[in-house]
Structure 1
Amino acid sequence: MSNVHPFPAGGKSARPSRKKRKRLTAYGPALLLQDIDSQPVDVLDAIIQAGSLYLEQAGQEPTADDLAVPCAQFLQTIHGMNALTEAANVLIYEAQRYPELTDQEAVDWLVQRTKATHKVMRKLDKMLPTNEFILSSDSFGPDFMAEYATNAAMLVVSYFADDLLTYYDENFIQTKKDRRKTMMLDYRDAYREVIQDCQIHINAHGFLLKELASAQRALNKVMKEL
């Protein structure tokens, strides 16, 4: 896809006006939480790195390999969603370990947002044409469906990432458990820029779908009269 800005990689700031940082550690010490296997996880960094799985190459010109696998960006977005889900699971597990320190309504909201994201992604996955069908078709229809599904997936998953950062901000940044506020803000801005770009294209897709549906109804009416 070439309709969104590339996600900042390697710990670079999302805002050009801010001073660039060479390492994520330049933002401050990492806060490590335990996952269900008692392994330490830097959840904030995990949310950021999930974006690099599907957004780093989004603004670049497609290569020959990319053209041969038109659904590749969608699959990369699934990888991003899976990484974000793992981060969400760590946050949920942390809340279960310390229920007296966590707003249960916020945790329930996070669980529902995770389920809703997976539900929409399953729907998009079902409508996505296969690579073989797209490449063998003489119609632009399969390409349009793949573009729509990919844009929608990137929008939904980026919203999920923004939700995770909102939860993390309220529970760890604002409480001073994690001092990397600037890091959180930088990458929240980056995700929100992706959301804005994808929303613009989804709105354009919606207009085209509406016009196609109207034209199809008119065509069906004419065909019945012939």
Structure 2
Amino acid sequence: MSNVHPFPAGGKSAKSARKKGGRANGHHAAIGEALLIQDIDGRPVDVLEKIIQAGGLYLAPSDARSDVNLEAAPSAQFLWTVQGLDTLIDAANVLIYEAQRHPERMDQESVDGLDQQAKTTHKLIQKLDAMLPTDEFILSPNSFGPEFMAEYATNAAMLMVSRFAISLLGYYDAQFIRTKKDRRKDMMMDFVDVYREVIQDCQIHINAHDYLLKELASAQRAMNKVMKEL
């Protein structure tokens, strides 16, 4: 599975992947002023950049990655997606902490929804990880089953993680982007479109998998019926 998107490879700074421009006092000509939000340890975090870095961990072109050893593993794309989720959860925690510090300025219902989606997505990824066959089993020449399971788990993970990323960007837009002239708005929408493209692509694959599973189940029932009659 290969996805070629305009994300910085390996979770590097999103700024380096944008247009050339000067940077001074936290300002970058291509994306505008960085908005830094304190995390629970008091460290400043550019949440928008962090959400984009998450995409770079699992959507950047594979030939731009530095972790060549992982690239060779059949489960590499799934593992990269898990890394992306971890980064998104870090970003969500910063936003949730900011809402706790300033409840009068934040939409609490949206914050609660973000928190719940983070927990739900993390729980699903754990289940997918548990069902993912080992690399040795996936490479086994005895059956295509393990490879099918790995592909299904990977597409499901990418879909759910990308949906979470869009939710984070939507929350960020509503709470922190004040005007349409804010350059972060254009940058953010670029990556919203890419995440949506990933969701659509993964949904197509999952629908095909679901159809195949139904056909296999039907064939299995027919075979069991014949075997009982023999």
Aligned partners of 1:6 and 1:59 also within 8 Å = no
Separation (CA, whole Å) in 1 of partners of 2:99 and 2:119: 17
Which aligned pairs between 1:172-211 and structure 2 lie closer than 5 A? 172-174=176-178, 179-211=183-215
Q: Find the counterpart in structure 2 of residue 103 from structure 1.
A: 107
Shift of residue 57, structure 1, vs aligned partner: 2.7
Figure out how many residues of one structure are paired with residues of the other and give that number.
Answer: 217
Give the letter for the 2:164 counterpart.
F
TM-score by length of 1: 0.88
Q: Which residue of 2 aligns with 1:153?
A: 157
Amino acid at match of 1:139: S
> How big is the alpha-carbon RMSD for the aligned residues of Structure 1 and Structure 2?
2.6
Offset, 1:9: 2.8
Three-state SS of the structure 1 residue aligned to 2:121 is helix
User: Among 125, 146, 154, which residue is 2:129 paired with?
Assistant: 125
Shift of 1:133: 1.3
Contact preservation (8 Å) 2:62, 2:71: no
- For normalisation by structure 2, the TM-score amounts to 0.86
Instruction: Tell me whether 1:224 sits opposite 2:222 in the alignment.
Output: no
How far 1:137 sits from its partner (Å)? 4.3
Q: Distance in 1 between matches of 2:72 and 2:197?
A: 28
The residue that corresponds to 1:94 in the other structure is 98
Determine which of 6, 15, 27 is the counterpart of 1:8: 6
Higher relative contact order (CA 8 A, sep 6+): 1
1:54-85 CA deviation, whole Å, 9 max, x = no partner?
1113699xxx9567410111111100000000
- Per-residue deviation at 1:121? 0.5
Aligned equivalents of 2:226 and 2:72: distance in 1? 39
SS at match of 1:53: helix
Unaligned runs of 5+ in 2: 9-13, 22-26
Which is further off, 24-33 or 140-149?
24-33
Conserved 8 A contact 1:46-1:87: yes
Q: Answer whether contact 1:88 1:164 (CA < 8 A) is retained.
A: yes
**3-state SS of paired residue (1:136):** coil
Q: For each residue in 1:129-152, what CA deviation from the matched residue of structure 2 results, as whole angstroms up to 9, or x when unmatched?
A: 011111234101100100110111
Give per-residue Cα distances to partners, 1:114-173, cap 9 Å, x unaligned. Answer: 011011101111110011111234101100100110111111100110110111111111
Question: How far 1:90 moved relative to its partner?
Answer: 0.1
**Aligned counterparts of 1:143 and 1:27: Cα–Cα separation in 2:** 41
Distance in 2 separating the partners of 1:51 and 1:83: 9
SS of match in other structure, 2:136:
helix
- Aligned equivalents of 2:179 and 2:105: distance in 1? 11
Q: Secondary structure at the match of 1:129?
A: coil
Corresponding residue SS for 1:204: helix
The answer to whether structure 1 residue 134 and structure 2 residue 138 are counterparts is yes
Between 38-47 and 68-77, report the one with greater CA deviation: 68-77
Q: Which residue of 2 aligns with 1:55?
A: 59
Aligned to 1:168: 172
Change (3 A) 1:92 1:175: farther
Instruction: Give the alignment partner of residue 85 of structure 2, picking from 81, 85, 104.
Output: 81
Alignment match, 2:24: none
